[in-house]
Amino acid sequence: MPPVQGYMYPNEIELAWSILIVVYPYITGLVAGAFILASLERVFHVDAVKPTYRLALLTALAFLLVAPLPLQLHLGHPERSFEMYLTPHTSSAMAMFGFVYLWYLMAVLLLEIWLDFRRDIVLLSQRTKGLKRVFYRVLTLGSTNISESALRIDDRVGYIVTVVGIPSAFLLHGYVGFIFGSVKANPWWSSPLMPVVFLFSAMVSGIAAVLLVYMFSTWYRKKTIDMRCVDTIARYLFYTFLIDCSLEMLDLIHRIYEADESFRSLDFMVHTRLYLSQIVIQVYIGTLAPIVLLALTQLLKLSEKARKRIYAVAGSLVLTGVFAMRWNVVIGGQLFSKSFLGYTTYKIGLVTKEGLLTGVVLILLPLPILWALVKLLPPWQDAESLAPAGPVATQGDD
């Protein structure tokens, strides 16, 4: 396949948005999805998934902390990125990023984690020594009140934060879909469905990520996996995936039926340059295979072992498929010419600033961060983690 085929406008030959712009929506999608799963328990009282509640929040935080990195590495002038806070251009969806990110980090995720873990933080600040003690004491913000009524108030406020958090999570990832969906110059992107498709595939990836993290960490800690929990998560994964799949099918059928001026060029691109990533990886491996596997667990009575294996495999395939979806949107949208007369190639570097290695490292970076968070704020619901719930003597009481 020649590097450039047909006619591309001269400035279009080199791609402007690289793998880092694929990684960014992937990561924020995982954040939104993990948070939605956590909110299932908190707001919708799906008790079955309670074992993953705190873990899902920490997973979301780990990924959220990494999220700005691909963007900073991609910018021509990252040292000027604060301009988005100083003079955000309100007609630009991208200008929302700074504020939506900050809002979601501070007012939703950190606040919710702090409220839910506060009792543990206070206890840990009293029981640890040295640097760790300082760390926990700072986190308490100077307050050590963990009486019944205080914790009840925390619970109430946390509930409200989660309720506000759900549309915030939709906004955090939905705006990314809108960044693409609102570009009238690019027919591969321009669609009102784009934010919705992004959001549902984000939920799918986030749920799958929490499922895998829970299964792995339980196995690693040599505990028993709560089957009721993973069965419920898998069920939600399945239903969300069906919706996501239907939306993508709708987009495809609509394109083929209307066959507007861009159709022939896009169709050619999908059958040639995008074949591997779109048809093979996203559709066959990343969508059809996991749907069939998950459907099997819903329709047949399978043993615990079989279900665990299927969930692990399906979850991994889902994560691969959603990454491929992001790749196909971002890279695919730049492989064809806006003249509809030509195609180019994405020349990805290996160890350059925006290269393959950077992309892989950024996707994996949240894992050691999550490991550190789990060590600092243990999410496990098991008995021996901390003292049982109940009023603990605090300073200045009565």
Lookup: tokens for 243 = 């919706």
Q: Are 181 and 193 in contact (CB under 8 A)?
A: yes
Give yes or no for residue 313 binding other proteins (CB under 8 A).
no
Q: How many CB atoms lie within 10 A of CB 77?
A: 7
Lookup: tokens for 109 = 């995720």
Give yes or no for residue 340 binding other proteins (CB under 8 A).
yes
Instruction: Return the SS3 of 92.
Output: coil
- CA 316/CA 279 separation, integer angstroms: 18
* Min separation Cβ 378 and other proteins, Å: 21
Q: Of 123 and 289, which has the nearer Cβ to other proteins? A: 123
Give yes or no for residue 142 binding other proteins (CB under 8 A).
yes
Instruction: Tell me the one-letter amino acid at 337.
Output: S
Give yes or no for residue 108 binding other proteins (CB under 8 A).
no
**Taking Cα atoms as reference points, which of 202, 198, 200 lies closest to residue 210?**
202
- Range in contact with other proteins (rule: CB under 8 A) among 142-150, 217-225, 283-291, 306-314: 142-150
Give yes or no for residue 147 binding other proteins (CB under 8 A).
yes
**Taking Cα atoms as reference points, which of 391, 373, 389, 372 lies closest to residue 381?**
389
Give yes or no for residue 1 binding other proteins (CB under 8 A).
no
- Range in contact with other proteins (rule: CB under 8 A) among 8-16, 225-233, 301-309, 384-392: 8-16
Give yes or no for residue 88 binding other proteins (CB under 8 A).
yes
Location of structure tokens 């008790």: 47
- Range in contact with other proteins (rule: CB under 8 A) among 244-252, 289-297, 336-344, 375-383: 336-344
Site for other proteins in 181-210 (CB under 8 A): 182-186
Lookup: tokens for 250 = 């709708």
- CA 378/CA 127 separation, integer angstroms: 14
Give yes or no for residue 395 binding other proteins (CB under 8 A).
no
Q: Of 82 and 275, which has the nearer Cβ to other proteins? A: 82
Lookup: tokens for 385 = 């983690």
- CA 309/CA 211 separation, integer angstroms: 12
Site for other proteins in 228-257 (CB under 8 A): none
* Min separation Cβ 24 and other proteins, Å: 11
* Min separation Cβ 289 and other proteins, Å: 32
Q: Of 217 and 344, which has the nearer Cβ to other proteins? A: 344
Rg (CA), the chain: 23
* Min separation Cβ 277 and other proteins, Å: 19
Give yes or no for residue 93 binding other proteins (CB under 8 A).
yes
**Taking Cα atoms as reference points, which of 191, 234, 193, 235 lies closest to residue 212?**
234
- CA 243/CA 246 separation, integer angstroms: 5
Give yes or no for residue 126 binding other proteins (CB under 8 A).
no
- CA 299/CA 338 separation, integer angstroms: 46
* Min separation Cβ 107 and other proteins, Å: 8
Q: Are 238 and 294 in contact (CB under 8 A)?
A: yes
- Range in contact with other proteins (rule: CB under 8 A) among 250-258, 300-308, 332-340, 353-361: 332-340
**Contacts to other proteins by CB under 8 A:** 7-12, 14, 16-17, 74-78, 80-89, 91-95, 97, 106-107, 111, 114, 118, 140-143, 145, 147, 149-150, 153, 157, 179, 182-186, 333-334, 337-341
